[in-house]
Structures are given as structure tokens and as C-alpha cells.
Structure 1
Amino acid sequence: MATQEILREIEELQRRCEDYDGISLKLNWDSLRSEPGSGGAQWLYTYEEGLLAGFIGLYSFGGEVEVCGMVRPGYRRRGIFTSLWQQAYKQIVRMKAKSILLNAPAASKSASGFLKTLPLEFNHAEYQMKWDYEKAEDRSAFENKILPDDMVILRPARADEKRLLAVLDSMGFNTTLEEAVEMYEELDGESSNEHIIIELEGQPVGKMRLWTEHHETWIYAFTVDERMRGRGIGRSALIQTIQRERRIGNGINLEVALDNPNALGLYESCGFVITNKQDYYRYIS
């Protein structure tokens, strides 16, 4: 079966599970559509009665593997996900991953039941948020272009700036530089990702990654050098990004860690509203 046909079936299965359970699954479609050797996900799946019944995606980020999966309603409680997980775990061991994170929507009862069978500890939670003009505190900011004398500039990252991106990530997200560099090597070649450098008066002070599909743009890995925070740089960069995506006709989405109240407050004041919550659990081997 052609890869594109399998991807269409995975997408259909995702819609079926989300509609049935009232949840939003984080399947990282940019990784699913890329080759594993160039930063893409690895995945396992199974068929029952001619239908794609179960799926697990393995997403490698700088030595850490994230796991997310699903089973078709009506085919649950048959051991399908347990069998897929056992296969996936063997594959992760061969990958020599430093750690394993299992991701599940907080509202998923079926995921909650399965996770209780594994040796896990809660790691963190993330809110998924979507921009809503009516919720923005200062709507005029989105009706006007950034003033010419605004010194916060957004530009595409150059091919030779991977290390700069990695340095900003390591400072902003509490990872080692080596892990951040490894992640950018894995992302290399993913044309769907747009890496953005944030400059203040010509100097790089932050970055973000944009991914767009079906007229929906996601903002990932958005950070400003902690030495430059509190000067409105992040707000200006966020507003400029929202303005650009609105002109194109795209919706704007992002994720924020539950334990990051400053970022959450910024996003909410700019008009983002919480749509879903994702929980992450660390596997204890």
C-alpha cells in the first residue's frame, strides 16, 4: 500500500477518534509526512477487518522519543494498543533513546486507562491555544501594521544559523546545547517548517518555528533571550506573526506549558484561548 494512502487512513482514523472522544490528538503531522532519516516519525499500525484499527507514532526530538497513538472506536479492549506499544517499545530500545514521553489528551478516558498499566510518572502538561480576535485585549494592534520605527524585526533563519537556533532553544527550554543541535539536524530537510529569527536593532534575540497545513499555522518553540525579556519583544513578534497569518487567511495556534504563567498571560492578552490540554508522562524503565 502506498505511503500516501496509509497517511490518508491515519488522518481518517484521527478524525474518527477525535469526534468520538471529543478530544484533540497531537500526531505531529509534519513529522509523519517526513522520512524517518530526515527527522520524520516512525510509526506502527494494525488492521482489523480491513480497517486501520490502531496506530502509534514515535517522534524523536534530540534523544527523547515522544509517543502518541489511537485505536478505532469499536475495536478497543481487544489488546490492540497493548500489542502496538510492545512493538513500539522494542523499537525505541533499538533507537537508544535517552528518555520516553507518552502524550495523551487530558480528556481521553481510554488513554487514561491504558497509561495506568505502565510504569510512568507525570512530567508536564501543555495547553493548546487558538487565536480569537474578539478575545484580544488591544484589538487595534491587529488592525494596524507595526510602526516603521518598531525595532523588532522577524526574518527567516539562514541555513548557516542552525547553531544560533539551537543556542536560543537550549537557553529558552532548559535543554543541553547538544540535544538542541541534534534536534535541528533531525528537522533539517522538513520544508513545511519555517524557522524565524527575532531581531532587536539588528541583533538576534529570539526565534520561533512555524508550521502550516490546511490554512492553520502553529507557532512552536517561541522564545526570547531571557536577558532581553520584559521589553515587549515577545509581544511585538507575536503580533507581527498574527498579522501576517491573518493577511494570508490562516488560523493561528500555539502550545504553552502549564507551568509557564508568564507566557500564558501574554498569549491570552493577545487573544489566544485554550482549546485543549495535553498531558505528558515519562516512562520509568
Structure 2
Amino acid sequence: MLKENKLMAIKQLQKECENADGIQLKLNWEMLREREGRQMDFSYEKNGQLIACLSLYGFGSTVEVCGMVIPEERRKGHFTRLWQQALVTIEQYGFQTILLNAPSTSITAKEWLSKQPYTYAFSEYQMRWSERPIEASDEILLRVAKPSDANLEVKLDVLAFGMDEEDARSHLERIKERQDEQFLMIEADNRTVGKVRINRTEGEAWIYGFAILPEFQGRGYGRKVLRNIVKSEHDAGNQICLEVEAKNNRALTLYESVGFIKIQGQDYYKKNRV
């Protein structure tokens, strides 16, 4: 587990980079706070100050990569040296797919990526709910997931997000250990029709893993679920955020109809290890 002073230094570095570049970095804080065992974070300090850091986030056989360097220390090779260390870990733990993440408007990230053997894969948007009058629906029930729901949760990840079943099951088992996550099943017409996960951290509620079984889509369930979550979290004083793949027009339209607006784009570059 990362020590509290290291987490604070990462947070400060993130703030400096975001303010200087007008971007938002995706650091997966829920994973950073619960690091155990494996060496997944790499950093460089100078005179007691954190200058650069790079973190790996494992999702089954796929690993996502995000990093940053303080503006005045860029183009000095710091990030490349950390990346070389990270590649050793990636090989050691047998990750098969590498996804490099960069904010869509980050010029320095794109410069570095242009020199790497990775190809553009997809983009996603981070969205935040813009306050407006909203009413909950009593046609939808959100209940806490039970152990007996695990197979359906895995099935939904496979169907909705294209995950390999083994990766989906491994990912579910790992995130179920987190203390700041709430796993909910969606019920409608006396049937379990989907799932959603909520992570609450520092006044923000992030919606993840939101999926409805294909045979129950198109009935308005998704909009009603979102309205219920937004109303509950807003009443609790939380900002509500989520992520969605940019090419998923159906999901984008749904989220925007409930009041979510785009706040940042993230681009992903991919390479499969041979």
C-alpha cells in the first residue's frame, strides 16, 4: 500500500500538471489507495520533491498506463526512464495488452506517444452531472449485490464491455475487496436486469460498470436508474461523474439526456504483447 505522504505528493503533482496544461488526468485513485503486493507505481524525486510518476492499473490480462511529469522538468527523459522500469513489471506479471492513456488535449503526452510503437485504439469522455431538477423513479429497484449475483455480473461485463470472461471474473473478484465501492443490481418488473457500481471519494460519486442485459434494453430502464442514482447522490451532497467510450453514441445520448456534460477526453493507445 502506498504511504499517505506519497499519495499526497502524487495528488500535488497531479494538481500542478492539470493546472499548467488545462487537462484532467485519469489516475484511478481508488486503485492507488489500495495497492497491495505488486510493484505497480514508479516515481522520480529531486531534492525531496516528486518530479515524475507512472502508474500501472491491471484489469485481468490488460494493463492501463498513466503518468505525469512536473512541467519544468519535462523533456529530460524522466518519464522514459520510469517507462523502462514499468515494462519490466508488465513482462513479469504477464500482461498481454498495454493501453497507454493520455488526456486528449495534452501536447507533451502526444509528443511522447508519437515516438512509441503504439496505435490509437479509442477515446472516452469523463462526464459530470450538471445540476438540474430531477425526480427519482419508483419503477426501478437498486439493491446491494449478493454473492449469488457474481455470474450475472461477469456476464454483463462480457456483454456490455467486451471483456474476456476470465478477465471479467478476475476483475470482479479484485474490486469486490475495495471498501469504498458499492455494488448494486438493477431490478425491474421482478427481474434482475442489470448492474452498476458506485465509488465515493472526497465528495465525488463515480458511476462505473453500468450495464443492462440486451433483452431489457430500449425500455427506459437505463434512464430511470441514472435518475435514481443522481438524485440520491446529489441529495447526499456528492458530485456525480462517469466515464463513457466516445464512440458509444447510445450511452452518450442517454447520459446527456439526464444532465451529464463532457469535462475531459481521454485517448488510449494500444499494443498487444507477442
Q: TM over 0.5, yes or no?
A: yes
Q: Does 1:23 align with 2:18?
A: no
Report the secondary structure of 1:26's partner residue.
coil
How far did 1:41 drift? 8.0
Matched with 2:82 is: 84
1:203 aligns with 2:194: no
TM-score (norm 2): 0.95
> Are 1:181 and 2:181 counterparts?
no
CA distance in 1, matches of 2:272, 2:115: 12
Which amino acid is 1:276 matched to? Q
Aligned partners of 1:128 and 1:35: how far apart in 2? 24
Question: Partners of 1:186 and 1:284 in 2: how far apart?
Answer: 23
Q: Which amino acid is 2:242 matched to? A: L
Q: Name 1:125's counterpart in structure 2.
A: 123
Partners of 2:136 and 2:227 within 8 A in 1: no
Tell whether 2:219 aligns with 1:239. Answer: no
Q: Which residue of 1 is the match for residue 33 of structure 2?
A: 33
* 1:213 alignment partner AA: T
Assess if the C-alpha contact under 8 Å between 1:121 and 1:284 holds in 2.
no
**Partner secondary structure for residue 114 of structure 1:** helix
Quote the Cα distance in structure 2 between the aligned partners of 1:18 and 1:8.
Answer: 15
1:93-114 per-position Cα deviation (integer Å, ceiling 9, x unaligned): 0010021100110111110111
Give aligned-pair identity as a percent.
Answer: 38
Q: 2: distance between equivalents of 1:85 and 1:227?
A: 44
The answer for the alignment partner of 2:238 in structure 1 is 250
Contact 1:32–1:42 (CA under 8 A) maintained in structure 2: no
Cα deviation, 1:130-177, whole Å, max 9, x if unaligned, reads 10124xxxx4xx1x4424xx2x21111123422221111111111122
- Which residue of the partner structure matches residue 50 of structure 1? 48
Task: Note if 1:97 corresponds to 2:95.
Answer: yes
CA distance in 2, matches of 1:162, 1:45: 36
Question: What is the aligned partner in structure 2 of residue 259 from structure 1?
Answer: 247
Contact 2:144 2:183 in 1 (8 A): yes
TM-score computed with the length of structure 1 as normaliser: 0.92
Q: Provide the secondary structure at the position in 1 that maps to 2:71.
A: coil
> What 5-or-longer segments of structure 2 have no aligned partner?
none
Match of 1:71 in 2: 69
Aligned counterparts of 1:273 and 1:166: Cα–Cα separation in 2: 29
What is the DSSP-based 3-state SS (H/G/I as helix, E as strand, rest coil) of the residue aligned with 1:20?
helix
1:170 counterpart residue number = 158
Structure 1 residues 41, 207: CA separation in 2 closer, same or farther (over 3 Å shift)?
Answer: farther
Q: Offset of 1:50 from its aligned partner? A: 2.0
Deviation track 1:12-31 (CA, whole Å, cap 9, x = no partner) reads 10001101110000000000
Pick closer, same or farther for the CA change 1:41–1:28 going to 2, 3 Å. Answer: farther
Contact 1:119 1:284 survives alignment (8 Å): no
Deviations 1:9-55 (A, max 9, x none): 00110001101110000000000011335xx8821111022210010
5+ unaligned residues in a row in structure 1: which ranges? Answer: none
- Where 2:178 maps in the other structure, the secondary structure is coil
Task: Give the counterpart letter for 2:70 in structure 1.
Answer: R
Following superposition, the deviation at residue 283 of structure 1 comes to 2.2
The DSSP-based 3-state class of the residue aligned with 1:74 is helix
